[in-house]
Amino acid sequence: MLESVEWGEFRLGDLFEIKSNPQLDKGNFVFSEKAEYPYFTRTAFNNGILGNVEYLDEEHKMQGGCLAVGMIAMQFFYMEKDFYAGQFTKRAIPKKFTLTSRLANYFITVLNKKQKIFQAVLVRNFEKVFKTEKVQLPIKNGSLHLDFMENFVAELEVRRSAELEVRRSAELEAYLSAAGLKDYALSASEARALARLENGEVAFAPFDFDSIFEHIQQGRRLKKDDQISGSIPFVMAGVTNTGVVGYIANPVAKFPANSITLDIFGNAFYRSYAYGAGDDTGVYWNSKKQLSKETMLFLTAAMEKAVSGRFSYGKKLRSSQSLKIKMMLPEHNGQPDYAYMQTLISAIQKRVIKSVVQYTDEKIAAHHAVINR
C-alpha cells in the first residue's frame, strides 16, 4: 500500500496552528470518573489525561477535534472532545482539514517522531521550531492525500483486530492446555463444589503435615560456586521464578514430580517436574498415596496459609519442624476430602480462565467499536 503512494514535503506550520491553552491548575477543578471533560496535562501517561473534570466555564474550555501536547514530554495526543488543560500545554489545530480519529492517529505518529527535536528547544521557542519542521506525507495531485491516510489507518486497525482474535484463540488454548482442560465450562459437580464453598457448606478440619505426606525431607546445601550448569531445575528459598535459581548437573538428590516445596520463609510451590533442592527448602510428597495435581495445588495453598507470618530470617522453618503443623482441609468422615479438593481447584481454574477470556473478548469488542464508529 505504501509503495504505490506519492509523497510530498510539508512544513508543520502550513498544516497546524499552535495555540497556548487557557491554563488552570488542577485545584480549580472537581474530578469525577463520570465527569464530561478530560483534563489534559503535560504527562505522557493515559494520553495526557490526568482525569475527567466537571464543567468549569466557557473561558477556559477548549474545543475538541485538535491535537494537544505537553511541553515536558513533547508527545502529541488527539483530543476528540472539548477539554480543559493544565500548565505548559498547547494545541495543534489543523488549518485546512478536519481531524478524524484515524487522521489524528496518522499525524500523531508523524509528529511524535519529532519528539527529541522538540524536547531539545526551550518552551518559548517551541512554536517557532514547530512551524519550520518539515514532514513527508502522502499526496495526490499535489495536495494532502487525506483519504489514503484514513484508509491506511483503517487497514492497520483491521489487521490489529485480526491479531487480537488470533491471540485470543492461542492464549485460550495455552491456558486450557496448561490446566489439562478441554474447555472452561463448569461441570455439574464443579458448580456444586463452588456453591458449597460460597454458601459455607464445606466442613474443614485441622490435619498435621505428616498425616498428609509420606515423605518430608530437607534439601541439601549446594553453594552457587559449586553448581555445574545442566538440565536439573534447582530450587532454593524465594519467590522469584517460583524459587528455581538455575539448572544444574550436580549429582544431587532429585525429588519427584507432583511434590510441594516449602522454604524457610514459608513460601510454598507445587512442582510438576523432578528437581533438586537446597538446604533452605523442604520437600513434601507421597509415593504410595497418589494425589492429583489439583489436590496438590489445594494442599500447597493450605500449607502456605498454615505457616503464614510465622517464619522469617530470624526464625526459619525447617521441614523437621513442620511435621505437626496443622493445615485446614475439607474433611469427610474425619478424613481429608481429596475428591472435593480436586473438583474445587478444577472449578477455580476454569473460572479464572473464563474471566481472562471475557476480558479479552471485551477488549476485542471495544477495539471493534472504535474502528467501526
In the chain, the domains with their CATH numbers are: 2-144 (3.90.220.20), 198-335 (3.90.220.20)
- Tell me what pLDDT residue 220 has: 93
| Structure confidence at residue 185 (pLDDT) | 80
Beta-carbon neighbour count of residue 37 at 10 Å?
19
Q: What is the mean pLDDT of each run of 10 residues along the chain (373 residues)?
A: 82 96 89 94 90 94 95 94 94 94 94 95 93 95 92 84 69 65 80 94 96 96 92 95 95 93 96 96 94 96 95 92 96 96 92 74 60 56
pLDDT at position 351 is: 85
Distance CA 245, CA 237 (A): 9
| Distance separating the N- and C-terminal Cα atoms of the chain | 23
Specify the pLDDT at position 373: 58
Cα 285–Cα 287–Cα 289 angle in degrees, nearest 5: 90
Characterize the bridge pairing of strands 37-40 and 84-85.
parallel
- Global pTM value: 0.56
What is the DSSP secondary-structure string of 75-88?
A: -EEEE-S-BEE-SS
Q: What pairing do the DSSP bridges indicate for beta strands 76-79 and 66-70?
A: antiparallel
b/e map 14-25, b = 16+ CB within 10 Å:
ebbebeebeebe
- Residue type for 238, please? G
**Side chain identity at residue 177, one-letter code:** S
pLDDT value, residue 173 = 64
Euclidean distance between CA atoms 335 and 286, whole angstroms: 17
Q: Which long-range contacts (CB under 8 A, 24 or more apart) does 172-175 make?
A: 172/353, 172/357, 175/353, 175/356
Integer CA distances (angstroms), 349 to 230, 241, 291, 294, 298, in order: 33, 21, 17, 9, 12
CA–CA separation, 15 and 26 (whole Å): 31
Amino acid at 247: Y
E strands, 183-339, in order: 204-208, 215-218, 229-235, 244-248, 259-263, 268-271, 276-277, 281-285, 326-332, 335-336
Radius of gyration over alpha carbons of the chain, in Å?
A: 30
Dihedral sign for Cα atoms in the order 274, 279, 280, 282: positive
Helix (H) or strand (E) holding 105: helix 101-112
Write the DSSP symbol of residue 123: G
**Amino acid found at 188:** A
Nearest partner of 353 among 175, 87, 182, 163, judged by Cα: 175
Angle in degrees, 0-180, between the axes of helices 338-372 and 293-307, rounded to the nearest 10: 100
How deeply is 266 buried, as exposed, middle or buried, from its count of CB atoms within 10 A (0-12, 13-18, 19+)?
buried
- Residue 243 is predicted with a pLDDT of 96
Q: What is the pLDDT of residue 58?
A: 93
Are 326 and 206 within 8 A, CB to CB? yes
**Mean of all residue pLDDT scores within the chain:** 90
For residue 261, give the H/E element and its range.
strand 259-263
Which of 259, 328, 325, 263 lies closest to 297 in space, CA to CA? Answer: 259
Tens digit of each residue's pLDDT (9 = 90 or more) over 36-84: 999 999 888 899 999 999 999 999 999 999 999 999 999 999 999 999 9
pLDDT score, position 305 = 97
Length of the chain equals 373
243 and 255 Cβ atoms separated by less than 8 Å: no
- What is the C-alpha separation between 117 and 339, in angstroms, rounded? 65
Query: Which SS3 state, helix, strand or coil, does residue 37 take?
Result: strand
Tell me, rounded to whole angstroms, the distance of Cα 340 from its chain centroid.
32
pLDDT at res. 372: 58
